[in-house]
Amino acid sequence: MKRLPKFLRVLLSVAAVWAAVLYFLQRIWFYRDPVRITPADQELLISPCDGQVVYIRRVEDGQITSEKLGQQIAVTEITHAEWPEGVQPGNGWLIGIYMSPLDVHFNYAPLSAQVTGIVHNGAKLNLPMVDLWEYVQLTYLRRAVDLFAKRYALENERQTVFLEGQLGGQPLKVAMVEIADKFVNKISTYIKVGESVRPGQKVSFIERGSQVDLFLFAEDVEFLVGVGDQVYGAQTAIARRPSAPRAAVQA
């Protein structure tokens, strides 16, 4: 049997190696489940996922200001759901974390809390979260890109998990919004309404690229990370809420 030309053998070898690398990244590395040590400090809010912080915004009367659009974005435009009790918390904070394909894609509970609601909203078509240059900046250069109020954040498939717990000995309501990217296959959920979760507990797994928006309905929150910072789910402390004085708690 006649041997293939050398250049063709080299080409086939390179193609085989590249195919093996892609298979490893997509089928093994992407689904890795590393051990994470979650801080025990009850004043700390823990990152719900791996990724880069792309925005931190104030929420006032259930609205966030979008400088890009020149208008206010309602919290419900992002959650696609009302708070389970029908009462929408007014003031607080929103932090968005972009998960690149290179990040671990498990999502984790950011605090000790009870799951009061899980709402899934599909979409006819998921829009891409970023263009090619934004993807390169976020994934490979690890540079900050402001993604707030882009269309995908308002229109793509998402799952909102409502949590009610305590941080720093004070009640805190949190809405955790898992937003799907264009190529996301599914969101696997490991919790149910009515369950209690601990900080760092696995909540879900999102296939491919995605984003987690975290609404914190409290004003006295001190962020420990900034836009552009890389965070790690179940491990990085992203905010602190100092414990209230005993007298204030009793009052």
pLDDT in tens, 45-54: 999 999 999 9
Nearest-CA neighbor of 198 among 40, 32, 31? 40
Q: What is the mean pLDDT of the chain?
A: 87
User: Residues 60-68: what's their mean pLDDT?
Assistant: 89
Task: Provide the CA 87 distance to its chain's centre, in angstroms.
Answer: 24
pLDDT given at position 250: 45
CATH number of 39-245: 2.70.70.10
In this structure, the dihedral spanned by the alpha carbons of residues 238, 214, 188 and 50, taken in order and rounded to 10 degrees, is: -30
- Min mean pLDDT across 23-37, 90-104, 157-171 is at 23-37
- 108 and 156 in contact (C-beta within 8 Å)? no
- 85 and 58 in contact (C-beta within 8 Å)? no
Statement: the pTM of the whole predicted model exceeds 0.95: no
Instruction: Report d(CA 27, CA 10) in Å as an integer.
Output: 25
Beta strands 158-167; 237-240: pairing state? unpaired
pLDDT given at position 187: 85
Token couple for 82: 């009302």
Residue 249 scores a pLDDT above 50: no
Top mean-pLDDT range of 19-23, 66-70, 212-216 = 212-216
Residue 35 scores a pLDDT above 50: yes
Instruction: Report d(CA 160, CA 45) in Å as an integer.
Output: 18
Beta strands 187-189; 51-59: pairing state? unpaired
Pairwise pLDDT comparison (31 vs 14), residue with the higher score: 31
What pLDDT digit, counting tens, does each position of 200-237 carry? 999 999 876 689 999 999 989 999 999 999 999 999 99
Sign of CA dihedral 56, 61, 63, 64: negative
pLDDT tier at 63 (50, 70, 90 boundaries)? very high
Pairwise pLDDT comparison (236 vs 26), residue with the higher score: 236
User: Residues 77-96: what's their mean pLDDT?
Assistant: 88
What pLDDT digit, counting tens, does each position of 150-177 carry? 889 899 989 999 999 999 999 999 999 9
pLDDT given at position 248: 46
